[in-house]
Structure 1
Amino acid sequence: MTSPRWMILVCFSLISVFGTGESLTIIVPEISNEQNSLPAIIAQMSRAIADLNASHKKLLVQQSRSGCNCNPSSLQACYSQRNLANRRLSSCNSQVRSLGAQRSSLLRQVSGLRSQYAAVVKQRDVLQGQLNVFVRYQNYGWKYYRGSFYYFSTSKANWQASRNYCTARGADLVVINDAFENNFTREVKRIAWIGLYRSGSNWRWVDGSYLSSRASYWAPKEPNNSGNREDRGEIWLYNNIENWNDAPWADANYWICEKKV
């Protein structure tokens, strides 16, 4: 940023020229590209405008106080002095308008940069949160697949205890949405609980959605609710695409948790 000393030189020039009748040229220094503090630039511009306004007022006062005799030569000198003062005032006004426009432009840039910064910070926080999830679940042996982490248990429990294990870790029993996920979950080659349960005459997933016939992979003749007590879904014939079975919730099975990210 150019030193404020240029403003002192401008004011000195105004005083000197007013007395000598010489022409006045005010050059506003350009802002260095090396300065990277927009607030500092705006403050400098504001001070420059304030100084020019002060010079403007002084010129008005001097113009109002200018007196002369009524003889022709004195009148001519008085008119010349008045015209010179008017030119100086016009120059000051132009400088004030120019600096005001620059300040407004810088303020808009500051506002835009603040908005960009806020957006970047928000995106950073989202990505950091996702990264933390990845690190945490990978460290505990969960497998990532198509936007979710999966945990394949190595012990057995009933359906509710299996679900409790998942929810205690910020997850739930797996919800199978399509053929890709169905194939992925049956690759473990184990009979395992999934997040499917009977609700009246319908089947629902643990996320609250109802089982769709288009994404249903029941084994042949299943579900059959044998003994009127089979109310939970499990992966059963895992070597087949259609592999689900309904089973009593109290049976001990392996289970699969899912954590969406």
Structure 2
Amino acid sequence: MFNYFHYRGVCSLDLGVLVSDAEPWTTKVTPETVTIPGRGDALLGYEYSNSDAVYDIIIRKTGRDTLTDAVERVRRWLLPDVDYSPLRDSYNPGYYRRAYLPGGLTVTRDGLHEAVATVTFSTMPFKYADGGDTAIQARNGLKLYNRETYEAAPLLKITGTGAADIFIGSHALHIKEIGGLVYIDTEDENAFDDTKGRNSDITRVVDWPRLSPGETVVQYDGAGITGVEITPRWRSL
């Protein structure tokens, strides 16, 4: 079996690109301490930052193409960019990371029939489970089960009119006015509809809602609610 990666909707194998080696997906974790005046201790927290996903690849010419043609085709596919796209590979089945290419393709050696190159992606800290991007119609009292070892930050879609209260486990959100449609992105900590920001319509109690490992109950209260959708976005480090 050949190893591969999948990026921008293209599988490397389809372009004659094999992965010979890869650095494991890792997450950079930096401890942070916050000193509170009047206390003799400090609160400990953690900051997660982007890390590199590095692939050593072999580019092989296919059909009547020359090796130069094959390398150029791969180079065009892997031009540097600043937009994040899903990155999957054969080493981590069932998961993807959000990544971009800061430097493009670096060819280190070429011969008559194949070239050796390195591709380095910059990836967001979390890896996301396939299937976690599917929206779930949430009835009142829905029980969601997080099989990952890290909390998920869901996307909520609320439709209807008037005020509403949304309860995700022990976390609560109050919506002053649904106004037809409002999205609440708990990962970006942002609320919006199809045309504008809606943060001023949202009041949260303490933290933004999270789906902790294990079971979480979803409840809501509001006479004008016509629908609640949750995209869980299961994730892990």
TM over 0.5: no
Q: Which has the higher strand share?
A: 2
With the length of structure 2 as denominator, give the TM-score of the two structures: 0.23
Larger Rg: 1
More helix per residue: 1
